[in-house]
Structure 1
């Protein structure tokens, strides 16, 4: 129980709170250059916090046991936006300035006998206030982190669903995204889809994920931006500034679960990322048909599997970018590659079927490779060409049968 002398000392300290608060605000204005640049409202909130802290100290000084939690509650008078106005470092400066002002001022406001006792108490109290400030900022950071995780998951979902609009740009920028928003014209975006690690399925309730943080950090070290989300059993990564996405994804592969990783085609910006996302998702669905696919594998390398699995975009891409160029001119290239594939990959048999020299067949097959990017002499490429020719004939029957 506090003695009468201690209670009298607390009463004298109570009478000095107004002068102490005024002196603290004056010291902040004089010693902290950034304080004077704040708005009047923000300075008012800081003044309330300082006054609240001094009043709380008096109550704690009067009876420490009854007010043991007082230091942790002195920031209760500040709005949530308080932590956005000033940083933790600036808050520490405020606390330090306030404490120094009290220590320098109590000698003129209290009797000499009270000063050492109050000085010792303020040192103990200041330590608790510092911990309280750290707690406030830690909680604010945690709340922002959870909100950022949910916002990031929504952005990735918008890209996957093809619902990107101008709001996606601003929201991505709010998350620190600097690549692939079309501001420089040189940034590129690619969407990557793979299996999520087993530990991340289902994702945490707050939308966050350790693997998401790791992927984002690894992408940043590789020189790219990343928006990440765990969607059920798959991990989706939107890479910004991904001029060479496969090389970047090779550095991120360890954070994906077992199984294939599919990299969508590079597009010009975040608004066009749905094209890359569509191809990557379709590729992940079809990659099981190519057991020896590399990890990671580009979605465009899976065009035949995607076509056979029902991906209309892949079908049209093969028909327009592979089959259509072969039909140009007299159709000799189309006839040659078709005969080559039908002959089981024999150049001599192809030459006999077309009544041309074997070297002519080799020349035409090289032109096919240069024109389409697929070499008929390569087993994998020949499979792609076979599917492309089949789809081209199905999608353009009039070009193959003039009688129709």
Structure 2
């Protein structure tokens, strides 16, 4: 009865052939390979230094880590050549504890260049490592081995990218949370640097509802769109709310409406501009206050500036909005004199009628027009536009209440008003 090895149609015997179905390598060739691991490693390092300029520019510790990878690769090839096994060994035997250092030192493209040099060195030494009859199988083994190492290297980089992406997402969430809480510390500055924020332009916080499908695909699309419209962006999702911290927005009148399309249903609110991420907390707080009050203005544009929502914010109990109305509208009006505050008050009280206001003040209608234009110049809000007239009327109310509660400050004049043109992304309600 014939033995299994005598039957060419039977599967290879485990002890007689490799798992690839090829004849086992010559023991003398294996022993020669083992004895030349050191010299092959030395030749490989010399070749890396000669062929790869970027390798020569690495720090000594980085060169050492890559040299160790190359040496392990050659040693593992000998084991694999003797008995090919599953490619899972590559991750542990070749790279060992090096994946972190490797992926930080060089890109995947450079890693593949390194593998190519190692394989070329081994292949060039084939005539000295095996007799003529064994050189063909040995070269084939080198090529198959290089394929396994290349795939393993790609796997290492993919795993490292996934880990780095998860860490970056968590770090970004921590930065956004710190901005919302108003944290200002060296730790926050360190985190900001770690997330790669580079924009030196003014910062705007944009808040609204998150869409139902706020998954990885949505976040990728969000970053792609905002990456074309702003220099930098941080993304935070807290429950059903989406927070964007934008730096260096290009062409704001077009950019903000485009970005707002990525939010879910409901209002989208822009906070006032901030000088930096560390000082962006006030912008975030104003944006969230505006988001809470926005339901009181059903016809609000999308997006809407948190400053356009000052009246609604005052009515919802936002003391910051009340102080802003007094500081930027009421006090400049009173300080401007020339009858601006009485003229505005009469105009608003008498149904926005120029003629009725002129009769009540015993002046010509053109004088009323002139004074109302001056109101717009001083405050940045135009009383001839109904929505802005509502903001001015609210400022008069809260300003009079503040004046009756405490005497007006003396000394230098009030701070200069911000003016409508300085509010980012404002959509006029004309």
Instruction: Establish whether TM, by shorter chain, passes 0.5.
Output: yes
Query: 2:88 maps to which residue?
Result: 69
Query: 1:183 maps to which residue?
Result: none
The separation in 2 between residues aligned to 1:147 and 1:155, in whole angstroms, is 12
Query: 1:84 maps to which residue?
Result: 104
With normalisation by structure 1, the TM-score equals: 0.89
**1:299 and 1:235, CA in 2 relative to 1: closer, same or farther beyond 3 A?**
same
Q: Following superposition of structure 1 onto structure 2, how do residues 202-221 of structure 1 map, counting pairs within 5 Å?
A: 209-221=216-228
**Residue 341 of structure 1: how far off its partner (Å):** 1.6
**Residue 367 of structure 1: how far off its partner (Å):** 1.8
- SS of residue paired to 1:270: coil
1:304 equivalent among 311, 315, 323: 311
The separation in 1 between residues aligned to 2:32 and 2:405, in whole angstroms, is 102
**Residue 78 of structure 1: how far off its partner (Å):** 1.8
The separation in 2 between residues aligned to 1:133 and 1:356, in whole angstroms, is 85
1:159 equivalent among 145, 163, 179: 179
- SS of residue paired to 2:243: strand
Query: 2:279 maps to which residue?
Result: 272
Q: Deviations over 1:216-239 (max 9, x none)?
A: 322221242111111111111111
RMSD: 2.3
1:189 equivalent among 188, 198, 203: 203
Q: Tell me, yes or no, if the aligned pair for 2:269 and 2:306 is still in contact at 8 Å.
A: yes
Q: Tell me, yes or no, if the aligned pair for 1:191 and 1:265 is still in contact at 8 Å.
A: yes
The separation in 1 between residues aligned to 2:311 and 2:234, in whole angstroms, is 29
The separation in 2 between residues aligned to 1:188 and 1:329, in whole angstroms, is 30
Query: 2:16 maps to which residue?
Result: 2
Q: Does 1:53 align with 2:59?
A: no
Q: Tell me, yes or no, if the aligned pair for 2:70 and 2:118 is still in contact at 8 Å.
A: yes
**Residue 329 of structure 1: how far off its partner (Å):** 5.5
Q: Does 1:95 align with 2:129?
A: no
Q: Following superposition of structure 1 onto structure 2, how do residues 178-257 of structure 1 map, counting pairs within 5 Å?
A: 178-180=198-200, 187-200=201-214, 209-242=216-249, 245-257=252-264
Q: Does 1:109 align with 2:129?
A: yes
Query: 1:395 maps to which residue?
Result: 402
**Residue 356 of structure 1: how far off its partner (Å):** 2.8
Q: Following superposition of structure 1 onto structure 2, how do residues 319-334 of structure 1 map, counting pairs within 5 Å?
A: 319-328=326-335, 330=337, 332-334=339-341
Q: Tell me, yes or no, if the aligned pair for 1:229 and 1:235 is still in contact at 8 Å.
A: yes
Query: 1:30 maps to which residue?
Result: 50
Query: 1:379 maps to which residue?
Result: 386
**Residue 255 of structure 1: how far off its partner (Å):** 1.7
**Residue 58 of structure 1: how far off its partner (Å):** 1.6
Query: 2:343 maps to which residue?
Result: 336
Query: 2:4 maps to which residue?
Result: none
**Residue 400 of structure 1: how far off its partner (Å):** 9.3
Structure 2: tracts of 5 or more residues without a match: 1-14, 18-22, 409-430
Q: Tell me, yes or no, if the aligned pair for 1:264 and 1:280 is still in contact at 8 Å.
A: yes
- Of stretches 273-282 and 116-125 in structure 1, the one that deviates more from structure 2 is 273-282
Structure 1: tracts of 5 or more residues without a match: 181-186
Q: Tell me, yes or no, if the aligned pair for 1:48 and 1:77 is still in contact at 8 Å.
A: no
The separation in 1 between residues aligned to 2:170 and 2:46, in whole angstroms, is 42
- SS of residue paired to 1:377: coil
**Residue 197 of structure 1: how far off its partner (Å):** 1.1
Structure richer in helix, relative to its length: 1
